[in-house]
C-alpha cells in the first residue's frame, strides 16, 4: 500500500496537467496475504538464483498470477508492455527487475487493476474511451482534452475500447514521462531543456 | 525507394549522435512490382471503402505479406509495434493510415528488412546485440555507446538477441524521436526546450 504521496504539479496554458506521483511502496511489513505469498513463490521459481527477472519472465509471472483471477477478465500482458514496465521500474539499469522492484510494480498493477475493474462494468475486459479518461484520472493523472485524445488514439482499439494490457502500458508511459519531466524541471518553471543525448536516453528506454 | 536525403546532425559531448533522415518516399511511379500489386490488393481488401487502416488491420496486412517470404524468417508483428508504426506515419492525426502513409511505411519496412536479413546470417529470425549496432548504423542512425546499450537493454531478449518485430519497433522509435528533436531544435543549437504539454504530446503518441 502506498503510505505517503509527494505531489508535483505541472501546469500548462489553460488546462491543468499534473500527476499525483506516489513514492515507491515500502518493503513488505511481514504480514503477507495469500496472494503475496503466491506471488513471491512464483517469482522465486522463475527468477532462479539470480533473483532477477527479464521482460519475458515478467510476462510469464504476471500472466500466471492474473490467470487465477475470477473477478476480472484480463487477456494477459504482452511482451511490449512488460518491457515498458521494466523500463519504468528498473532503477539499477540492468534491464531486469529484482524482487523489490517487482514488488513495487506489483503494487501498482494491483492498484491499476482495481481502477480498471471499476469501469469494466460488463466484465468484457475492456473499458470505453470515455471510461478511460476517468480511469486515468483515478490513477492520479490530470490531462487536458488534447492529451486525452492522444492517449485514446494511441491505446484504444478500432472500436475505441481499451483492454487491460493497453491501460497498463498507457499508465506506465504516463508515469515514466511525468517522472522524467519532473526530474529535469529542477528550477520548477514548468519547462525542461534537453540535449539530444538526454532526449534519447529518456525516450528510448521507456 | 528513397530518392533524396536531408541530413540533420545532432552532436553530443564526445560522441556523434545523428540520423540520416530520409524524406518521405515519393508516390508510386506507376511501375509496380508483383509484390507492390499484392500489397495494394491486400490493403484494399482490409481497408474497405474508408481506405484507411487501424493498428490491428495494419498488423493483419503486414503479417499476411511477410508470411509469404521465403528468404527471411519473421515471426510476425505485434500489435504494439503496429501502433508505434501508425504513430510515426500518421500525419493527419487520425490514428489510422491512408494508402500514401502506408506505402511510405511499407518502403521503410522493406528497407529495414533488407538490413535485418544481412545480419541474420543463420536465418533464425534474430540478430545479436553486436549485429544490432551495425544494423542500426546501416539504417542511418549513429548513436554513442551509452545509447547503443540502452537500445539493447530495451529491445533485446534475455539472450541478447533482437527479433525483427523488436528491430522495427526500435527503428520506429529512433526515427520518431530524432524527427521530434529536429522539429523542436529550430535554432539549431542542439538543445530543445519543452513545456509539459509539448513533452507529453511528443512522448505519448510514439
Cα distance between the two ends of chain B: 24
Quote ipTM for the complex: 0.84
To the nearest 5 percent, what fractions of chain B are helix, strand and coil? Answer: 55, 15, 30
For residue A100, the model assigns a pLDDT of 87
Residue A75 contacts B where some CB pair is shorter than 8 Å: no
Chain A hits for B200, Cβ within 8 Å:
17, 143, 147, 150, 174, 177-178, 181
Selecting from B12, B174, B195 the residue whose C-beta is nearest the C-beta of A190 gives B195
Residue whose C-alpha cell is 505485434: B78
Residue B187 contacts A where some CB pair is shorter than 8 Å: no
Please state the rounded mean pLDDT for residues B11-32: 54
Backbone angles phi, psi at A68, to 5 degrees: -85, -10
Any idea which of A18-27, B59-68, B182-191 has the lowest mean pLDDT? A18-27
For residue B21, the model assigns a pLDDT of 56
Cα distance between the two ends of chain A: 25
Residue A23 contacts B where some CB pair is shorter than 8 Å: no
pLDDT of A26 > 70? The answer is no
- A121 to chain B nearest CA, in Å? 24
**What value does the mean pLDDT of chain B take?**
84
Q: What pLDDT, in 10s, does the model give residues B22-36? A: 444 444 455 667 777
Chain A hits for B191, Cβ within 8 Å:
193-195
pLDDT of B13 > 60? The answer is no
Which of B92, B143, B195, B205 should we substitute to test contact with A (largest number of A Cβ atoms within 10 Å)? B195
Contact A153 B204 (CB under 8 A): no
**In terms of DSSP bridges, do strands B15-22 and A5-12 run parallel, antiparallel, or are they unpaired?**
unpaired
Contact A150 B201 (CB under 8 A): yes
> Angle, nearest 10°, between helix axes A164-184 and B196-204?
140
For residue A13, the model assigns a pLDDT of 34
CA angle centred on B193, ends B192 and B195, rounded to 5°: 140
Chain B hits for A197, Cβ within 8 Å:
12-13, 17, 144, 146-147
Residue B138 Cα to chain centre, angstroms: 13
Quote the CA–CA distance of B51 and B43 in Å, as a whole number.
8
For residue B8, the model assigns a pLDDT of 29
- Closest listed residue to residue A18, CA positions, set A30, A8, A6, A32: A8
- A51 to chain B nearest CA, in Å? 14
Amino acid at each position: 500500500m502506498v503510505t505517503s504521496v509527494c505531489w508535483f504539479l505541472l501546469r500548462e496554458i489553460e488546462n491543468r496537467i499534473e500527476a499525483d506521483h506516489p513514492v515507491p511502496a515500502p518493503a513488505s511489513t511481514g504480514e503477507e496475504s495469500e496472494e503475496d505469498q503466491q506471488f513471491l513463490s512464483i517469482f522465486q521459481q522463475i527468477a532462479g538464483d539470480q533473483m532477477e527477472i527479464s521482460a519475458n519472465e515478467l510476462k510469464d509471472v504476471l500472466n500466471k498470477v492474473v490467470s487465477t483471477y475470477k473477478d476480472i477478465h484480463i487477456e494477459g500482458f504482452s511482451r511490449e508492455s512488460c518491457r515498458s514496465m521494466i523500463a519504468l521500474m528498473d532503477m539499477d539499469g540492468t534491464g531486469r527487475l529484482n524482487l523489490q522492484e517487482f514488488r513495487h510494480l506489483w503494487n501498482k498493477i494491483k492498484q491499476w487493476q482495481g481502477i480498471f475493474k471499476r469501469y469494466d462494468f460488463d466484465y468484457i475486459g475492456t473499458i470505453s474511451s470515455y471510461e478511460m479518461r476517468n480511469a486515468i484520472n483515478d490513477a492520479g493523472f490530470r490531462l487536458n482534452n488534447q492529451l486525452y485524445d492522444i492517449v485514446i488514439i494511441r491505446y484504444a482499439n478500432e472500436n475505441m475500447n481499451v483492454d487491460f494490457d493497453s491501460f497498463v502500458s498507457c499508465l506506465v508511459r504516463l508515469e515514466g514521462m511525468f517522472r522524467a519531466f519532473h526530474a529535469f524541471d529542477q528550477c520548477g518553471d514548468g519547462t525542461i531543456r534537453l540535449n539530444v543525448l538526454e532526449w534519447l536516453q529518456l525516450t528510448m528506454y521507456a
